[in-house]
Copies of this chain bind each other. A is one copy, B any other.
């Protein structure tokens, strides 16, 4: 297998963190989004939707979508479980993963794509108002998470899961999106410091 990976972008980072938590390492091919390498004909043959990451299996089949790749590795390497360990826990993890994706990760990436000068070619047209509308939505969700994180150590419960990976990738991507989380979100800050100190956060 090999992984088509890109530095800096939050989705490939989710897969790298996931693999690091599983203790799995893979050969990688770097696709430089800054040089629009994902738009090349070569990469279109890998993923016609022209996004990273992508996983090439030994059969030659390509799997795309970060969470699909993570889910595949969860089945190959079940320990430690990062999607939950029974039916109800897996449902809770999926709920939190999706809440984080739809109401935190998405607003942050919209704010970034529609405001950052580096995205001028990739996101056409950039709509400044859409970027601005999304910034307070991300902060509102961080406030909601802050209240939840007063009740438990990790986003979906007592164990670190993919929901924490998605939330950390999003929270760190808030910086280039020019979104600032208020200092009073102390539970959110405690959670963020803890997950940031895991070796996988540097993957």
Contacts and interface: CB of A to CB of B under 8 A. Distances in A.
A94 B98 CA distance: 13
B91 A71 contact: yes
A91 B68 contact: yes
A99 interface: yes
Contacts of A91: 63, 68-69, 71-72, 75
Contact of A133 (B49, B75, B127): B127
A65 B90 CA distance: 13
B133 A129 contact: no
Nearest to A98: B65
B87 A72 contact: yes
A36 interface: no
Closest 6 CB pairs of A and B: A75-B87, A68-B94, A72-B91, A68-B95, A65-B98, A65-B95
